[in-house]
Amino acid sequence: MKYSVLLSLLIPVIFLLACTSEEISQEEALSEEELSTGEAAIFSGETLCTPGWKCLGKWNKAYQDKNCSWSQKIECPLGCQNGECQAGQTCDSGFRCINENKMGFQTEGCTWINIKNCLGGCENGACLPDPIQNETTAEEPAEPVEPITPPLIEYEILNFGEKKIYQINSQEYTITLYNLESDRAKFRINEWKTEWMVENATINYQGEFIIHLQEILFQPYDGGVKQVSFTIE
């Protein structure tokens, strides 16, 4: 009789201890992985994340709540920095004065090509007439000095996917810009394809002519400029 009474008293105590142990185990189940991924928003009464717009990788931004969850994801075509999408710079293309003694053609990507020195100065995107040489006196004869004008280099322009026919050494060649990335490009000459070329690189086509890649313009969003300038020698 005494043993049965004692056993009836011990059973509730054992059950209570088991429940308390299970609650402790559940509290300790908060893993380091949950803390690192932000699934556990509040631990010991402290907020894990500061809410606000932040970069989600290099090409996206999103809003992070105080519980470390992300929402309102936005794509940044030109990259994300300090929680904001970087804005692209565009210019109206055309010939302009770079400074008072130099002119050039400014592309839509705000870069300069066909740069030319203006000995007489530059005005409204064109070189002024060269200055008249000072007349020499009879006491100090001097040979006339002709002003030296640097040659204006003409660059060929190809848009991504565009093909053009060029007359080179009395033969016709079809040149296509068939692959383009932000820092490299590939050409197809007739059916022959070049390797990847970076700016200022050259390629010799079967000893007949040389392509010199001058500049790559690549804006990675819809409607952006995707073209190269090059010379054929």
79: in domain: yes
User: Do both 77 and 114 map to the same domain?
Assistant: no
Q: How far is Cα 134 from Cα 126, in angstroms, rounded to an integer?
A: 24
Give pLDDT tens digits for 137-189.
445 566 776 666 655 567 888 899 898 998 888 889 999 998 999 899 999 99
CA separation for the pair 84, 107 (Å, rounded):
26
Please determine, for residue 136, whether its predicted confidence score (pLDDT) is greater than 80: no
In a domain, residue 118? The reply is: yes
Position 106, amino acid: Q
Q: Are residues 161 and 226 in the same domain?
A: yes
Contacts (Cβ under 8 Å, ≥6 apart) of 131: 119, 120, 147
pTM of the model: 0.37
Q: Which domain holds residue 115?
A: 94-127
The answer on pLDDT for 34 being more than 50 is: no
Q: Does residue 2 fall inside a structural domain?
A: no
With respect to residue 72, please indicate whether it lies within any of the assigned structural domains: yes
Tell me: do 60 and 103 sit in the same domain. no
Neighbours of 105 (CB within 10 A): 17
Count of domains for the chain:
3
In a domain, 140, yes or no: no
> Which residue shows structure tokens 């050494």?
169
Residues 209 and 161 in one domain: yes
| Three-state SS sequence of 99-120 | ECCEEEEECCCCCEEEEEECCC
- Asked if 182 and 199 touch (Cβ cutoff 8 Å), the reply is no
